[in-house]
Amino acid sequence: MLFNVLAVGDVCGTTGVDFLARTLPKLKREREIAFCVVNGENADNMGISPDSAETLLTYGADVITLGNHTYDKDNINNFLDDNRYILRPSNITSRAAGRGFGIYDSPAGELCVINLIGRVDMQPLSDNPFFELDRILKLDEVKACKAVLVDFHAETTSEKRAMAFHAEGRVAALWGTHTHVQTSDAEVMDGTGYITDLGMTGGARSILGMEPQTALERFLGNPKARLSAASAPAKLEGAVFAIDSDTGKCVSVETVRVLN
C-alpha cells in the first residue's frame, strides 16, 4: 500500500500561519495526504507560541517540528512538555523542555517522526546529529514503525547532503528546513526520499519570509533594524513523499508550491 506524506517548509509569521490555515486542508484532500509534518519554528517570527501551534495542528499538521528558534518564546516550555504533537530537535541539550521524536498513528500504521538540528553555523549546545539519528533508529519501538520521517533543520547544504547519505536506505524520508529556499534536488536514494530544503510558508515577496525593507536595512549597516514578517501575497512550499507501507521505503518525491 502506498501512502502520501506531506512535509511543509518553515511557517513564517502571521502571514504564513493564516495562509496555511486557508490552503492546507484543501491541499491534503487534493494530494490524498495520509500524514502531514509542518515546520513551525518561525510561526511567530522568531519562535512559536502555543496559540500558533494549536492553529497549525487544527488546520492539518499532524506533527509540528521546530529548530534553532524553538525556545525564543517564554511561554512555550510547558506546551512542549505537555503536547506530544510538537517536537524540538532531539540532539539539543537534554535539559531542554520537550521531546525530539515521537511515534504517531496514521492510516498506514505507526510512523516515527524525528527532529534534528545541524551543528555547522547553528546550535552550539547540540550533540552530533548523525550519532543521534543512529541512537534513535536502534530503538525497538522505532524499528517496529511502518516508516521513519526526519526533519533536519540545518544551515549548510553540505551538512544536509551528508545526512542524506548517512540515512540512505534507513529512513523513508529526510528533508531539510531552515534556509527557506526550496531546492530542486528532490530524489529517492535507495528508498529514502530526500530534498535539501522544503522552502517556506509565508510572504512570497520577502527575504526569507521577512519584509524586504527591514532585512535590507541590516545589509545596509543599520544595527537597530528589526525584522518583521512580510505580508500577503503568500505561498506554501513543501514536498510530497509516496511511501510503501510494506517496505517502509519511499518510491517518489515531488515538490509542492501553492501561491495565492
Domain ranges of the chain: 2-259
pLDDT category of residue 110 using cuts at 50, 70 and 90: very high
Task: State residue 256's pLDDT score.
Answer: 98
Q: How far apart are CA 229 and CA 207, in angstroms?
A: 9
Indicate the SS3 state at residue 6. Answer: strand
225/39: higher pLDDT: 39
pTM for this predicted structure: 0.95
Indicate the SS3 state at residue 129. Answer: helix
- Contact 59/25 with Cβ under 8 angstroms? yes
Q: How large is the angle between the packed helices 50-58 and 13-30, nearest 10 degrees?
A: 20
- 10 Å Cβ neighbour count for 21? 14
User: 42-46, 134-138, 181-185: which has the minimum mean pLDDT?
Assistant: 42-46
Q: How far apart are CA 130 and CA 118, in angstroms?
A: 9
Q: Is the pLDDT of residue 225 over 80?
A: no
Indicate the SS3 state at residue 36. Answer: strand
Indicate the SS3 state at residue 123. Answer: coil
**180: annotated active-site residue:** no
Which of the residues 69, 153, 178, 180 is marked catalytic?
A: 69
Out of 3.30.200.20, 3.40.1080.10, 3.60.21.10, 3.30.2270.10, the CATH code matching 2-259 is: 3.60.21.10
Nearest to 87 by CA among 101, 68, 106, 77: 101
Percent of the chain with pLDDT over 90: 83
Q: How far apart are CA 47 and CA 70, in angstroms?
A: 5
